[in-house]
Amino acid sequence: MNKQESDILNTLLLKPYINQRILAEVSGHSLGVVNRSLKELIKADYLDESIRPTVKAITEFKQKTPQRAVILAAGFGMRMVPINTEMPKGLLEVNGEPLIERIIKQLHEVGIKEIYVVVGFMKEKYEYLIDEYCVELVVNDDYAVKNNLHSIKLVKEHLENAYIIPCDIWCDRNPFHRHELYSWYMVSDMVVNESNVRVNRKMELVTVPESSGGNAMIGICYLVKEDADTVAKCIEELCKNQRYDGAFWEEALYNKDRMIVLARVVHSADVVEINTYEQLREIDSDSNQLKTDAIQAICNALKAKPEAVMDITVLKKGMTNRSFLFTCKGKKYIMRIPGEGTDQLINRRQEAAVYQVIDGKHICDDIAYINPQNGYKITEFLEGARVCNPLNYEDVKKCMMRLHAFHDLKLKVNHEFDIFWQTEFYETLWDGTPSIYKDYEKTKANVLSLKPYIDVHVGEKVLTHIDAVPDNFLFVEKDGKEEIRLIDWEYAGMQDPHVDVAMFCIYSLYNKRQVDRLIAAYFTEGCSDEIRIKIYCYIAACGLLWSNWCEYKRNLGVEFGEYSLRQYRYAKDYYRIVQEELKKQGEEE
């Protein structure tokens, strides 16, 4: 059977045959297609002469009847800022009903009770579904670092005669049926640039060049046994390759330039994927999830109504925070929302005190609002700004001149950032879990042995940025002149300003030649051997500090890949470099 014949046979199982015109209206196919299909179905013994399904047809229906469903609900839903800081996307409410509950109820309506929900982010908030709807929760521990291809891998044994459903959709009409005769993937009749597939005349889903426009991909899929087996094997192979860590599960549906399943096209108004705050506001302006703390903070700070907050766009997820861009009263702003576990890492009152000290000195971005309790911050968006390129030496020299000028102001606050104390503190946050590094205790002892040298050679302590990394230097045009603003002062405190030089090096993943070149850019008047060796000591100490920080974040499910490994290497390599430099000094004396 082709797709048209399957659709018509499915219609005849649900509604008895009256005439071809009514059959055409119900099935959605033309009279010509209905006429040809009926002849083929009779010839193939799926219909008898009275246009009634035969035993063969009923047997095939039973073999392909939907039996179960998989709902994908593990991800952050990053584009849902600021809602995703308080609620996982599957529990967003439309007309007072959580999205995932509506999906489950629609599945129950067609007799599907075997439902697997793959969870990860805020997984505990889904626990009630077990008692309420008898679903089974499957936990994806890798949700923070891998995409939903790996969620599907966890349930690949349950894909036969199964619906696969994203949790962030709202279906006006029930998209599920008691009977299916073939595998399909749902797309909308709306054409969007973000899609890389389109429906051809054979109702196949074929790939199209990027940004050339395709049918909007809804994400609901149905798999009969044969296709489910193929998809499960493909998923197994793809998950063995790290290149697919960020892949969507749909990768497993492709065979060269097309999907192995047919298209099911729905009207764009019937199924809505809710990916953003504004999409939720558009479909239900009274949704409880629209009343977030972040939006309320914006309204209070900028004296605006919620509907004035527009064009919300998620920015790249940072190491510590989530941030989003928005427009209000014709101006662009960035709002920072602290990420997982940052309440343990950062004293927001101290951060607010730093901003108070540097206010009006044109050092940082323009702060419109900061909350010393929860860390919410609103800054004016700097149009056309770019970050420092650590591989462009002209950029680096300008940033070091700006940094030196800031240090020369010798600003003061009432708190200190103690590298060694912070290192021990981050270690306590591991809750007794040993380090992932086998030789951690030896490395730690080596780094601690550098403290006496640092203490002897430390100069005057002033307000130091601590996180003076390339991404925090912004180049902006003001009145036809280039300015450099230093942003993100969360860790700032009293310290030896040369710590900022070390921090720039380790975040840039510099080798020793690049480190020495950076030191020369900062110390245009020349740098003594003692100060240079002290900076090497700071590189080792800061490497261990951020390695410990990464271990804490790793326990929260946030992984930093090469960055984490390289920080630990700095701790080891620069301890050795310091020893070599001190030995060389001794020999010269």
**DSSP string of 499-515?**
HHHHHHHHHTT--HHHH
Closest CA to 497 of 578, 388, 416, 563: 416
Instruction: Report residue 319's pLDDT band, with 50, 70 and 90 as the boundaries.
Output: very low
Please check the confidence at residue 333 and state whether its pLDDT lies above 70. yes
For residue range 348-363, list pLDDT tens digits in order. 899 999 999 998 888 9
Q: Among the CATH numbers 3.40.720.10, 3.90.1200.10, 3.40.50.300, 3.30.310.160, which is that of 382-588?
A: 3.90.1200.10
- Please answer whether residues 26 and 11 qualify as being in contact, where contact means their C-beta atoms are separated by less than 8 angstroms: yes
- Please answer whether residues 164 and 184 qualify as being in contact, where contact means their C-beta atoms are separated by less than 8 angstroms: no
| In the chain, domain spans | 3-63, 66-273, 382-588
pLDDT the model gives residue 8 = 84
Tokens describing residue 134: 């008898």
For residue range 131-184, list pLDDT tens digits in order. 999 999 999 988 878 899 999 999 999 999 999 999 999 999 999 999 898 999
- Please answer whether residues 258 and 227 qualify as being in contact, where contact means their C-beta atoms are separated by less than 8 angstroms: no
Instruction: Report residue 84's pLDDT band, with 50, 70 and 90 as the boundaries.
Output: low
The per-residue pLDDT of the chain, averaged, comes to 89
pLDDT the model gives residue 280 = 81
The larger pLDDT score, comparing residue 208 to residue 11, is at: 208
Task: Look at strands 114-119 and 136-139 and give their pairing.
Answer: parallel
Token pair 């640092």 is found at: 454
Among left, alpha and beta (phi > 0; psi -120 to 50; other), residue 430 is: alpha
Tokens describing residue 61: 């229906």
Beta bridge partners, 94, equal 97
The larger pLDDT score, comparing residue 344 to residue 327, is at: 327
- Please answer whether residues 171 and 270 qualify as being in contact, where contact means their C-beta atoms are separated by less than 8 angstroms: yes
Please check the confidence at residue 455 and state whether its pLDDT lies above 70. yes
Contacts of 476 (CB under 8 A, 6+ apart): 382, 384, 385, 482, 483, 484, 485
Say whether 279 sits in a helix, a strand or coil.
Answer: helix
Supply the pTM of this predicted model. Answer: 0.66
Please check the confidence at residue 562 and state whether its pLDDT lies above 90. no
CATH topology of domain 3-63: Arc Repressor Mutant, subunit A (1.10.10)
Tokens describing residue 423: 């290192």
The larger pLDDT score, comparing residue 296 to residue 71, is at: 71
> Is 66-273 CATH 3.90.550.10?
yes
Average pLDDT (87-114) is 93
Contacts of 314 (CB under 8 A, 6+ apart): 78, 79, 81, 322, 323, 324, 325
- CA dist., res. 218 & res. 171, Å (int): 10
For residue range 480-496, list pLDDT tens digits in order. 788 999 998 989 999 99
Please check the confidence at residue 83 and state whether its pLDDT lies above 70. no
- CA dist., res. 415 & res. 100, Å (int): 47
Return the number of other C-beta atoms located less than 10 Å from residue 442's C-beta: 11
- CA dist., res. 304 & res. 301, Å (int): 8
pLDDT the model gives residue 582 = 93
Closest CA to 408 of 326, 312, 500, 519: 500
